[in-house]
Amino acid sequence: MVAQGQDATFTASATNDCGSALIYQWRWNGDEIAGATDSAYTLTNAQCADAGSFELVVAMLAGSQTSSVASLTVVAPPVMLSGRADQTVSLGQEVTFAVTATNDCGNQLTYQWRFNGTEILDATAKDYVFTTLQVSNSGNYAVVVANLAAAVTSPATFLTIAGPYLTVYPAEPSEAGTGMTNFNFVFPSVAGIEYAVQYKDTRSDTNDWLPLMTNSGTGGFITNDFPITTDSPGRFYRMLVR
């Protein structure tokens, strides 16, 4: 087995009791290889099409013998055909990361998924399914595709975790009169993670989410205060964890 572009050398030794001259002829898939008439044969710059069975025929006046077959496998480096773009998934849901890779010789490839550069235990399939996403799962995901010839790493996919929807309606006059002037958006945080609060006035998928507040995780609870009045529109809020 050799990597594509490398040299492959085949050797054999033969003798006879009388010391007669020996004639050598190498074969590839049963056909004679032109000029391959020594006890060793080197195939230079091996390509996918060179894979196959090699054998040596040793002859003399009294007869000939054929060596056992040596099989040559040529391994081409993997090529990444597609990966996944950045994704935003709701807290507690499931996400699937997938990649498509190939190589010129059609050899088997291995896969190892990574999270923020660290290998994920047992994540060695072409697709990686992550269930019940939590805040701590936000980050970069990539896969290393490898074989004997080389290893390539996919572009990183950044996974953002979106918190649940919250709805805020205008304060009633009686509530405003009792001092209800703020809506408090409170959530637990993890140090080193960014939390972005977004809003929109309707749930229509055609409306974009608008940025409202960005917070850096502290390890404790974070409170965002949003003022409301009797004229405030109803709004939908969500939180992105990055």
CA 19 – CA 130 distance, rounded (Å): 69
For the chain, give the mean pLDDT: 82
> Which of 161, 195, 216 is where one domain is finished?
161
Which of the four pLDDT bands, split at 50, 70 and 90, describes residue 232?
Answer: low
Characterize the bridge pairing of strands 2-3 and 74-75. parallel
Please give the pLDDT value at position 181: 63
Are 39 and 83 in a shared domain? no
CB 179 within 8 A of CB 236: no
User: Residue 177's domain spans which residues?
Assistant: 163-241
Are 186 and 129 in a shared domain? no
Average pLDDT over residues 162-189: 54
CATH of the domain at 134: 2.60.40.10
Give the model confidence (pLDDT) of 20-52 as tens digits. 788 999 999 999 999 999 999 999 999 999 999
Which of the four pLDDT bands, split at 50, 70 and 90, describes residue 84?
Answer: low
Are 227 and 167 in a shared domain? yes
Question: Hey, what amino acid is at 91?
Answer: L
Please give the pLDDT value at position 168: 45
Are 53 and 114 in a shared domain? no
The b-or-e profile of 98-131 (16+ CB within 10 A means b, else e) is ebebebbbebeeebbbbbeeeeeeebeeeebebe
Average pLDDT over residues 93-118: 90
172 pLDDT above the threshold of 60: no
Are 168 and 157 in a shared domain? no
> Which of 123, 143, 161 is where one domain is finished?
161
Between the alpha carbon of residue 59 and those of residues 29, 62, 144, the distances in Å are: 19, 8, 49
Are 176 and 152 in a shared domain? no
Domain count of the chain? 3
Are 152 and 214 in a shared domain? no
Are 167 and 221 in a shared domain? yes
Whether this prediction's pTM lies above 0.85 is answered by no
Are 155 and 177 in a shared domain? no
Residue with more model confidence, 198 or 4: 4
